[in-house]
């Protein structure tokens, strides 16, 4: 046994520990929740906030609320998210649709902006919906996908991108943090490598927003997209967000031209003319109700500070790796995430052939990580809601499950 701080001591010294108390207590059926990167926990306040929204805004203001506040709400919330989490100045973010739909819109817009180019660069390690959408867009437009093939425990390097981008590349679509390995890509350097050949980039921020600091404006990112139900705790199916750099907005061509993205939705005129700025990204009526939990969550991230969140996130993932090396590796468990914290996001994946069955067993015991094929347990460590004690309980439960099989 190496000398290691107890989880209790780490929790006692954790400056973010008080935030954990603001989440809704899940009750005795949850012993350790290690899946906050798949579905974040609700804040205790969310129920009251939703009810207040129903009673005051929806119930009392009724249709008047569209004029009074809802028409601008997806942009106000987007601006706040941009400021607190994305390093984006106002006027470049909107909350709307799902990540999948927004990926479609951004891919089509990026291709439309470069009619002389016909290649999309992406990674085989990307999340399925990103790959499926690119395949669909390629079939629709005649574009060709150039696949990068990173290792299972790693991710996309600057060199691997620089090698394939060229005068035919319209757009590079990549995940800032790989959903399986947790590899944290060098977004500014990859963006610069794409730009050097005249290509644009779309960053998928699903696994990084709310967990790692970022500076989309300073990195000169073209487009970004991300979901709000992981580290942003927006709730199941909470709408996603998109970022479009100000310099690309006037020429942004929306493939799903609907009335809410039109210049004057209530003029009921024809034909379609796009609204100015980010409003043209909208298609239909935005899900205002489903955006409500995000208000408190973004405020809480601002209060905690994204740098402090990242610092705790690194401590949690370091400890997960240490504990796994010591307690799980003797059973044949392999680490499938980067060992270097600078290349790692907020989750850690470990592999073992028995993990599909082990995960089922863990869920029955109230220990909840998730399983990622072919044989990975993904430990999602959400800095504002995960304690060090919870992590220890989770690793111990995995050790016991493996020991019982040995």
Which residues make up the interface to ligand PLP (CB under 6 A)?
98-100, 127, 129-130, 175, 179, 204, 206-207, 227, 240
* 250 catalytic residue (yes or no): no
Beta carbon of residue 226, minimum distance to ligand PLP (angstroms, whole number): 8
Catalytic residue among 230, 280, 312, 344: 230
Catalytic residue among 186, 204, 370, 392: 204
Beta carbon of residue 86, minimum distance to ligand PLP (angstroms, whole number): 16
Beta carbon of residue 130, minimum distance to ligand PLP (angstroms, whole number): 5
Distances (CA, A) of 117 to 164, 176, 295: 14, 24, 40
Q: In this structure, how many other beta carbons lie within 10 angstroms of the beta carbon of residue 404?
A: 9
Residue 233 or residue 387: which is nearer to ligand PLP going by CB?
A: 233
Sign of the torsion formed by the C-alpha atoms of 394, 396, 399 and 405: negative
- 150 closest CA partner among 160, 141, 142: 160
Q: How many residues does the chain have?
A: 406
Residue 206 or residue 245: which is nearer to ligand PLP going by CB?
A: 206
Interhelix angle 388-405/306-323, rounded to 10 degrees, is 20
Residue 82 or residue 234: which is nearer to ligand PLP going by CB?
A: 234
Catalytic residue among 19, 53, 229, 243: 229
Question: Distance (Å, rounded) from C-alpha 376 to C-alpha 349?
Answer: 6
Catalytic residue among 378, 388, 392, 399: 378
Question: Distance (Å, rounded) from C-alpha 182 to C-alpha 345?
Answer: 5
* 204 catalytic residue (yes or no): yes
Residue 175 or residue 317: which is nearer to ligand PLP going by CB?
A: 175
Assess contact for 239 and 95: CB atoms under 8 A: yes
Beta carbon of residue 36, minimum distance to ligand PLP (angstroms, whole number): 13
Question: Distance (Å, rounded) from C-alpha 366 to C-alpha 224?
Answer: 35
Assess contact for 91 and 74: CB atoms under 8 A: no
Beta carbon of residue 400, minimum distance to ligand PLP (angstroms, whole number): 30
* 127 catalytic residue (yes or no): yes
Residue 100 or residue 197: which is nearer to ligand PLP going by CB?
A: 100
Question: Distance (Å, rounded) from C-alpha 64 to C-alpha 70?
Answer: 9
Annotated catalytic residues are 127, 204, 229-230, 378
């Amino acid at each position: 046994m190496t000398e290691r701080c107890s989880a209790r001591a780490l929790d006692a010294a954790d400056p973010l520990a008080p935030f954990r108390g603001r989440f809704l207590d899940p009750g005795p059926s949850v012993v350790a929740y290690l899946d906050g990167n798949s579905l974040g926990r609700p804040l205790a306040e969310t129920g009251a906030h939703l009810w207040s929204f129903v009673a005051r805004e929806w119930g009392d203001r009724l249709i008047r609320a569209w004029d009074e506040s809802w028409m601008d709400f997806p942009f106000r919330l987007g601006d706040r998210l941009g400021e607190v989490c994305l390093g984006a100045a106002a006027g470049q973010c909107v909350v709307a649709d799902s990540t999948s739909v927004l990926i479609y819109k951004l891919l089509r817009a990026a291709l439309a902006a470069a009619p002389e180019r016909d290649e999309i660069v992406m990674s085989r390690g990307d999340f399925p919906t990103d790959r499926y959408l690119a395949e669909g867009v390629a079939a629709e437009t005649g574009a060709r996908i150039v696949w990068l093939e990173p290792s299972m425990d790693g991710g996309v390097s600057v060199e691997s991108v620089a090698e394939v981008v060229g005068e035919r590349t319209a757009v590079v679509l990549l995940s800032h943090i790989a959903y399986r390995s947790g590899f944290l890509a060098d977004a500014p350097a990859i963006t610069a490598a794409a730009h050097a050949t005249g290509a644009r980039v779309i960053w998928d921020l699903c696994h990084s927003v709310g967990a790692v600091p970022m500076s989309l404006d300073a990195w000169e990112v073209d487009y970004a997209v991300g979901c709000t139900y992981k580290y942003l705790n927006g709730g199941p199916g909470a709408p996603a967000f998109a970022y479009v750099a100000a310099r690309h907005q006037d020429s942004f061509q929306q493939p799903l031209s609907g009335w809410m993205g039109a210049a004057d939705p209530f003029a009921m005129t024809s034909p379609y003319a796009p609204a100015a700025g980010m409003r043209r990204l909208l298609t239909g009526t935005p899900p205002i109700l489903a955006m409500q939990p995000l208000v408190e969550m973004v405020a809480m991230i601002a209060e905690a500070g994204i740098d402090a969140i990242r610092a705790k996130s690194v401590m949690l993932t370091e400890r997960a790796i240490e504990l796994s090396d010591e307690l799980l590796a003797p059973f044949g468990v392999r680490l499938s995430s980067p060992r270097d914290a600078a290349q790692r996001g907020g989750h850690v994946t470990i592999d073992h052939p028995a993990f599909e069955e082990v995960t089922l067993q863990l869920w029955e015991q109230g220990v909840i990580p998730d399983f990622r094929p072919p044989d990975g347990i993904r430990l999602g460590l959400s800095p504002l809601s995960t304690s060090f004690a919870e992590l220890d309980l989770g690793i111990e439960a995995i050790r016991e499950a493996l020991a019982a099989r040995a």
